[in-house]
A and B are shown apart, each in its own frame.
Chain A
Amino acid sequence: DGGITQSPKYLFRKEGQNVTLSCEQNLNHDAMYWYRQDPGQGLRLIYYSQIVNDFQKGDIAEGYSVSREKKESFPLTVTSAQKNPTAFYLCASSINSYNEQFFGPGTRLTVL
């Protein structure tokens, strides 16, 4: 079955700790994205990658970092520099930046 997976589903972190969220896809998509969603709000773009070994900042990249060493994988690191990291994080992929995006199930991050 082709799809996009994220792990873990729930993540708890202490203040001052970095944490990495996993995103894997087997759809052979070139483009991958990370979004942040706060309660009752829309989706805000953190980072995106249109091709392996290349990525660009989105609207709210401060305090986050990514890598794209493999086509299938686009992990997101939430660093201690992110002031308010508690949120629902969604990863998505698409054939290219103009096509529909397919979303993973999301990771709910809570900072204690």
Chain B
Amino acid sequence: QQPVQSPQAVILREGEDAVINCSSSKALYSVHWYRQKHGEAPVFLMILLKGGEQKGHEKISASFNEKKQQSSLYLTASQLSYSGTYFCGTVGDNNAGNMLTFGGGTRLMVKP
């Protein structure tokens, strides 16, 4: 079942912060975050594992609430280069063979 992302779209001014949420109805083993620029392939940002620590690098970080089956991506002091569509992907927490299932995406536009 596809995870649900919110908001569907967000517009920011350079330097502002944003939070993108990803919610699943099933127990999760991991959550992946990707960013896709228009016309290009998605690029991996980070992965959060069940029982793992909050991940992050530079001004992009993420958290994973296992009990609520939710993850949030935090973009602080946004830059123009952050523009794109952000996808979360989830892997279920049951037998092996679960595939990554992507959410519908959140379109982020950062303006000068």
Chain A interfacial positions (CB closer than 8 Å to B): 33, 35, 41-45, 48, 50, 58, 90, 97-106
Q: How many A-B residue pairs have CB under 8 A?
A: 49
Residue of A nearest to B30 (CB): A98
Measured CB to CB, the nearest residue on chain B to A44 is B102
Give the residues in chain B near A102, CB-CB below 8 Å.
44
Q: Which of A43, A50, A98, A106 is the one whose CB lies under 8 Å from B29?
A: A98
From residue B69, how far is it (CB to closest CB) to chain A in Å? 17
Bound together, the chains give a CA A44 to CA B24 distance in angstroms of 16
Q: Is B32 in contact with A103, judged by CB distance below 8 angstroms?
A: no
Interface-forming stretch among B11-19, B35-43, B57-65, B74-82? B35-43
Distance in Å from the Cβ of B36 to the closest Cβ of chain A? 9
> A103 near B99 (CB under 8 angstroms)?
no
Task: Tell whether, in the assembled complex, residue B41 and residue A103 are in contact, meaning their CB atoms are under 8 Å apart.
Answer: yes
Q: B87 — which chain A residues lie within 8 A by C-beta?
A: 42-43
* C-alpha gap A100/B33 in the complex (Å): 9
Question: Do the beta carbons of A98 and B41 come within 8 Å of each other?
Answer: no
